Chain A
Amino acid sequence: MKSHWIMAAALSAGLGSPALSQDKVKLVDVIELSGAGATAGTNFKNGVDLAVADINAKGGILGKQIEIVHYDTQTNPGNTRAAVQRAIDEGAYAVLGPVFSGPISASMQISQRAEIAQIVAGEAAGFTKQGNPYIFRTSLSQTAAMPKIAKYLKETVKAGSIAVVWVNNDFGKGGRDAILPELEKAGIKVAVDLATEQGQADFAADAIKVKNANVDAVFVYLNEEESARFLRAAKQQGITKPMIGETTLLGAKVIELAGDAANGVKGHVGLSIDAPIPAFQDFGKKYQTKYGFNSDHNGLKGYMAVHMVKWATEKQKKFDKKGLADTLRGATIKPSDEPGILMETTIEQNGDLDRESFLAEVIDGKQVITATLPKIKP
């Protein structure tokens, strides 16, 4: 039975790491390509690939071509940790991803110990509050986005009472915990506080509950597939009150899956290929041409993440891993300096971002931007 151990040793030997070649700079994208986060992760991955192709076509970073590797996390914290560890063992210059905050929390100590920047797509509030100087976002956090939603609900929608429908995972619970105090401050009564399941298929009962509560508006904070299913169920139950969302609810994937039921949905979007910024629209067209479907906000995040690395490397004029994180911290990246960043982005000391965002509405199956909101600290 010794052969078991020989097999183990043989397999283990296969885990050894190849060396980083000299004329290339290696980035590792640790991302959800299977499991609950696959939709978001695939968009992010495509965005990263598009950015790498663009940069390499223009000569790379400081003359070096980017070598990109994607490791699937299966949306599992333990696997994510293994993947980030592998990235570091393989000499990655920076780690990109993941999207979900559980996997981020499980892996961010690894990049911190190795003093390597980890540029993630997560929006949950918690992980930038732990004093880790190597974690960076690519989008607004829930803490930054939710006050904008509450203001919108009060001033534009003029809602006095509201139903909050959220998915009971780290993303949904984080969003729900962030918006409730904001709604209270704005004097909006939360009549229904409804938790739903990740992967839930049938939202009829939830839609009926919301309908019976007779609220002025419904705030929907679910992942992509679930958002679409809820919108369909709400339409079937004849809910006519405004459906308000934050980024995900107005995303391309949700609009595609929900069909007619997405029309009329309004809310706040952090990033959108339909934003009135030519660079965003160009990205959207390039993405559509290459992959055959529209990018959601995660595609933009992936694209920006690679350009954050490029900008900081060119700024420090060398490939210094620790220096990359130091350069990013506290920086403001302008599209005039780095067109790939697409819009002016300020990185705060804890890795949170500040940038403009948008109000949008879904009209005839398309997201239409209705207003641009300024940075929190202009």
Chain B
Amino acid sequence: MTAPASQESLPQRSRLALPASIDGILLTLVAGAAILWFAPVGMGRYGTYVLSLWLVMSIAVMGLNLTLGYAGLKSLAQAAFMGLGAYTTAILTAKFGVSWYAAFALSGVLTFAVGIVLGFPALRVKAHYLAFVTLAFSTLIWLVLRNEQWLTGGVFGISNINRPEFFGIKLFGALEFHRFVVVITFILAVALWWMIRSPWGRAFMALRENPIRAASLGVDTRTYTLLAFAIGSAYAGFAGALYAPLVEFIDPSPFSLSQSFFLLLMVVAGGSGYLLGPFIGALLGVVLPEWLRFAGSLYLIIFASIVMLLLIACPQGVSGLFERGWARLTGKNSGGKNSGGRKGTF
């Protein structure tokens, strides 16, 4: 379920895949941000809100994609980290009047630090056991959010969370806030794009593909495992810090264990280990159910069927499907599900 490829050695990059495709990803991000900047014009507040929600979820999924898709660590705590970020921001801005920007940064720092602490067990346990550790953590966070009413508002949640200002421009309206979300998402996506291309990114992938070989080549597995997990968690924290002012209300329900599974589904459905996978995954998870509403009471059944069919037809997710299609179109040998490789990820 994790990665589409399990090559013994890093595959040979095709001529097309090297610098050109790297730029292709960046260009897609720039073009996407530009389109999304203008997309909601005339779309109404509902459409704008759904687009913003999609981007916010994409940030959380990007983090999990780093943890799972690049570093191969199965985490079931992404929604809990998102909750930590959302509550940190909500409490700081709504109760203590702290600026949203400071709260946003603190949410990232806090989730990064907690990620490091929780990441330590990741050094000792792997695969299912790591999943259990993160599952326990997820439940723990949810219980704290629900039971510590003096701090978190308990089951009643926190309402009237203010939206930030941007150099004096109030982001109260749906369109203004959406554009703000576009900018933040773009910055975070580019940061991740840069990271994946850096030696860090290669180290993360080496860890996933063959940890023993990575260690023998001098990759400090302990540090990189921790880093991958902590950075992935910080992205969830950032997503939470945007989610709280977007919905203007939070309670524990969107940060429960089931939501962590849903985020995991988005990573896999979008294509784990592909840089643009999280956007597609979150599109499937957030926008598709909304779009299917025309089907009335059947919409969740149709949604579930689409996801199941997708994963049966293409275990590498939509990105993998696109890649195979592209390979066939350009006449290049897709050579089964693996040898297409992760274009643009190296």
Contacts and interface: CB of A to CB of B under 8 A. Distances in A.
Interface residues of A, number: 45
B129 interface: no
B254 A8 contact: no
A81 B243 CA distance: 12
B337 interface: no
A9 B39 contact: yes
Given A1-B276, A9-B35, A11-B288, A105 B47 contact: no
Given A5-B35, A77-B157, A15 B43 contact: yes
A200 interface: no
Contacts of B154: 173
A1 B25 contact: yes
A291 to B, nearest CB: 14
A72 B280 CA distance: 23
Residue of A72, A102, A173 with most partner-chain B CB within 10 A: A102
B51 A12 contact: yes
A82 B44 contact: no
A75 B253 contact: yes
Given A11-B291, A85-B46, A3 B251 contact: no
B35 A4 contact: no
Contact of B156 (A2, A7, A72, A170): A170
B322 interface: yes
Contacts of B276: 1, 4
Contacts of A82: 46, 49-50, 53, 290
B40 to A, nearest CB: 8
B81 interface: no
A259 interface: no
A109 interface: yes
A88 B35 CA distance: 25
Given A3-B322, A4-B28, A5-B35, A168 B146 contact: yes
Contacts of A192: none
Contacts of B297: 33, 70, 72
Interface string A69-81: 0111011111001
A90 B248 CA distance: 22
Contact of B283 (A2, A11, A75, A90): A11
B126 interface: no
B83 to A, nearest CB: 13
Interface string B284-311: 0001101101001101100000000000
The B interface, classified by DSSP as helix, strand, loop or mixed, is helix
A68 to B, nearest CB: 12
Interface residues of B, number: 50
B32 A5 contact: yes
B52 to A, nearest CB: 10
B46 A89 contact: yes
Given A4-B276, A173-B154, A72 B300 contact: yes
Given A1-B322, A77-B249, A174-B156, A85 B45 contact: yes
A1 B31 CA distance: 11
Nearest to B344: A1
B195 interface: no
Contacts of A16: 43-44, 47
Interface in A88-111: 88-90, 101-102, 105-106, 109
B155 interface: yes
Contacts of B174: 85
B176 to A, nearest CB: 14
A7 B160 CA distance: 34
A14 interface: yes
Contacts of A105: 156-157, 159, 249, 251
Contact of B49 (A4, A11, A85): A85
A86 interface: yes
A15 B47 contact: yes
B125 interface: no
Contacts of A2: 28, 31
A126 interface: yes
Contacts of B322: 1, 3-4
A81 B49 contact: yes
Contact of B44 (A1, A3, A89, A109): A89
Given A11-B287, A76-B254, A5 B47 contact: no
B10 interface: no
Contact of B39 (A1, A12, A126, A130): A12
B26 to A, nearest CB: 11
A134 to B, nearest CB: 15
A349 interface: no
B24 interface: yes
A34 interface: yes
Contacts of B117: none
Contacts of B229: none
Nearest to B32: A5
Interface in A156-171: 168-170
Contact of A77 (B51, B254, B288): B254
Given A71-B293, A86-B46, A102 B51 contact: no
A47 to B, nearest CB: 16
A77 B250 contact: yes
Contacts of B28: 1-2, 4-5
Contacts of B51: 12
A102 B253 contact: yes
A288 interface: no
Contacts of A34: 300
B247 interface: yes
A17 interface: yes
Given A15-B50, A105-B157, A4 B280 contact: yes
B104 interface: no
Interface string B230-269: 0000000000000100011111011000000000000000
Given A7-B280, A102-B157, 4 more contacts: A1-B25, A5-B32, A77-B250, A169-B155
13 contacts: A8-B32, A8-B36, A15-B44, A15-B287, A72-B299, A77-B251, A77-B253, A78-B254, A81-B248, A89-B45, A105-B249, A105-B251, A106-B251
Interface of B: 24-25, 28, 31-32, 35-36, 39-40, 43-47, 49-51, 53, 146-147, 154-157, 159-160, 174, 243, 247-251, 253-254, 276, 279-280, 283, 287-288, 290-291, 293, 296-297, 299-300, 322, 344
Q: Which 5 A-B pairs have the closest CB atoms?
A: A89-B44, A86-B46, A15-B47, A106-B249, A85-B46
